[in-house]
C-alpha cells in the first residue's frame, strides 16, 4: 500500500487528490482509492507549496492523522522541460527537486496536463467513455489521445515492460488542411484577420476555433439571432480585458445543441467536421488499435452533436486508406477528472 499525491494545476484552479494505491492481481494497473480531494483557486496562492501545505492540513483533519505521501505527480497546463515548469499566468516556477525538499516527499514528478490525460485514459471504465466506433481493440496496440479545449492537445501511449509510456506531442500545431471550398475560404479569412502566414489546425479545432468559425460565417452574411447578436456584442466589448463575463464558444455550442440559432448550428457543423478530420489524420499517423480517445471539455459537453455523424464521417473519409482506420476504436472521454486520475497513475508508476 502506497500513499500518493496527485495534482491538476491550471491557471484558474488547482485540484489536489490524496490517493492510496494497491497492487492488483487482475490488472497491471494499481487499484486507486481517493482519501481526500480539494479544489483551490490558483490565484489565491503565491506558489504550489503553500497550497499543498493547506491541503495536507485539511487532509489531516478529515483523516484523523497526518498522511505521508511517498510520491507525487502534478499535471501542469503548460510546458514541462526536465521537471521544470514556468506558469507565466500565475508567476509560479515549479521544479521537482525543490518540491521534493520543501514538501518532504521523496519523489516528485511534473508532467504536461495532456500527458496526464494519456495516463488517465488507461484506467477509465466503460461508463466513463462514449464509444463512436467499436473497432477491433488490440490490448497491445498503441493508444492516441486528442483533445480540443482552450487549445488542441495530442499525445500517444505505448505498452512498455508490463506498463506503458506516455508521450505528449505538439501535433495540434500542424498546418490546417482545408478539404472544401468553404474551408479554403476559412483559411484565407483567418490568415487575413489574424495577420498570419500559416494557420495551425488548433486555430480551427479548439475553443478559439469555434469563435473564429463563427466570425467567419457571420462576416459572410449568415444571420444570427437577436439574442446571440447581443451576447456577441458584449463579448466584443470585453476583448482584451482580464475579467470576462461571456464564454462565446460555450454560448455558440449551447445554441447549436438547442437548435435556437442557425449561425451557431452552422458553426458547430464546420467545427465538428474539422475535428473529425483531424482525429482521422491522427489515426492514420499512429494506427492506434488500442484506441483513440477524444478528451478535452468540448467533446463531452457537446456529446449530442458529436454523435450525429459529422465527426465520424470526416474521420473515416480518408480515400484509399480509409480501411486502415476502420478497426480503430474511437471513444469520447466523459470523466472530467481524467487528468487528475492520470497524475495519480503516473505517481504510482514512478
pLDDT along the chain (350 residues), means of 10: 92 92 73 93 94 96 93 90 86 94 96 91 92 94 93 89 82 95 97 96 96 97 92 89 86 94 97 98 97 94 94 97 96 95 91
Cell readout for 116 is 496526464
| Extents of the domains making up the chain | 2-124+336-349, 172-333
Contact 189, 214 (CB under 8 A): no
DSSP 68-106: --SEEEEEESS--BTTEEEETTTTEEEEHHHHHHHHT-S
The answer to whether 142 and 291 have CB atoms below 8 angstroms apart is no
Q: What does pTM read for this prediction?
A: 0.90
Contacts of 1 (CB under 8 A, 6+ apart): 20, 21, 22
Q: Which pLDDT belongs to residue 26?
A: 56
Cα separation, 54 vs 167, whole angstroms: 32
Right CATH number for 172-333 from 3.30.565.10, 3.40.367.20, 3.50.50.60, 1.20.1290.10?
3.40.367.20
Contacts of 122 (CB under 8 A, 6+ apart): 29, 143, 157, 164, 342, 345
Distance CA 292, CA 141 (A): 11
Which regions of 161-298 does DSSP assign to beta strands (E)? Answer: 163-169, 291-295
> Given 3.30.300.30, 3.30.420.40, 2.40.50.140, 3.40.50.300, which CATH number is that of 2-124+336-349?
3.30.420.40
The phi and psi torsions of 8 (rounded to 5 degrees) equal: -120, 105
Helix (H) or strand (E) holding 62: helix 48-63
pLDDT for the residue 85: 92
Amino acid at each position: 500500500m502506497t500513499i500518493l499525491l496527485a495534482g491538476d494545476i491550471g491557471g484558474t484552479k488547482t485540484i489536489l487528490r490524496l490517493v492510496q494505491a494497491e497492487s492488483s492481481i487482475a490488472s497491471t494497473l494499481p487499484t486507486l482509492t481517493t482519501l481526500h480531494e480539494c479544489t483551490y483557486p490558483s490565484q489565491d496562492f503565491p506558489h504550489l507549496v503553500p497550497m499543498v501545505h493547506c491541503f495536507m492540513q485539511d487532509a489531516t483533519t478529515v483523516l484523523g492523522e497526518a498522511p505521508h505521501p511517498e510520491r507525487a505527480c502534478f499535471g501542469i497546463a503548460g510546458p514541462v522541460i526536465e521537471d521544470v515548469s514556468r506558469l507565466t499566468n500565475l508567476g509560479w516556477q515549479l521544479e521537482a527537486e525543490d518540491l521534493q525538499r520543501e514538501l518532504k516527499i521523496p519523489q516528485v514528478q511534473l508532467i504536461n496536463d495532456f500527458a496526464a490525460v494519456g495516463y488517465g485514459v488507461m484506467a477509465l471504465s466503460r461508463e466513463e467513455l462514449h464509444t463512436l466506433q467499436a473497432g477491433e481493440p488490440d490490448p497491445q496496440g498503441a493508444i492516441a489521445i486528442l483533445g480540443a479545449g482552450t487549445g488542441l492537445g495530442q499525445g500517444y501511449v505505448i505498452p512498455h515492460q508490463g506498463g506503458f509510456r506516455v508521450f505528449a506531442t505538439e501535433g495540434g500545431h500542424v498546418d490546417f488542411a482545408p478539404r472544401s471550398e468553404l474551408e479554403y475560404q476559412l483559411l484565407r479569412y483567418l490568415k487575413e484577420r489574424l495577420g498570419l502566414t500559416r494557420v495551425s489546425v488548433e486555430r480551427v479545432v479548439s475553443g478559439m476555433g469555434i469563435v473564429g468559425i463563427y466570425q467567419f460565417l457571420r462576416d459572410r452574411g449568415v444571420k444570427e439571432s437577436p439574442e446571440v447578436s447581443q451576447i456577441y456584442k458584449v463579448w466584443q466589448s470585453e476583448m482584451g480585458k482580464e475579467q470576462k463575463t461571456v464564454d462565446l464558444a460555450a454560448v455558440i455550442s449551447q445554441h447549436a445543441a438547442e437548435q435556437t440559432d442557425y449561425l451557431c448550428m452552422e458553426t458547430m457543423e464546420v467545427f465538428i467536421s474539422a475535428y473529425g478530420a483531424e482525429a482521422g489524420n491522427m489515426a492514420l499517423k499512429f494506427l492506434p488499435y488500442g484506441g483513440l480517445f477524444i478528451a478535452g471539455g468540448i467533446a463531452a459537453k457537446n456529446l449530442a452533436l458529436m454523435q450525429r455523424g459529422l465527426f465520424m464521417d470526416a474521420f473515416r473519409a480518408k480515400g484509399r486508406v480509409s480501411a486502415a482506420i476502420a478497426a480503430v476504436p474511437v471513444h469520447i472521454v466523459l470523466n472530467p477528472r481524467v487528468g487528475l486520475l492520470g497524475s495519480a497513475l503516473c505517481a504510482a508508476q514512478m
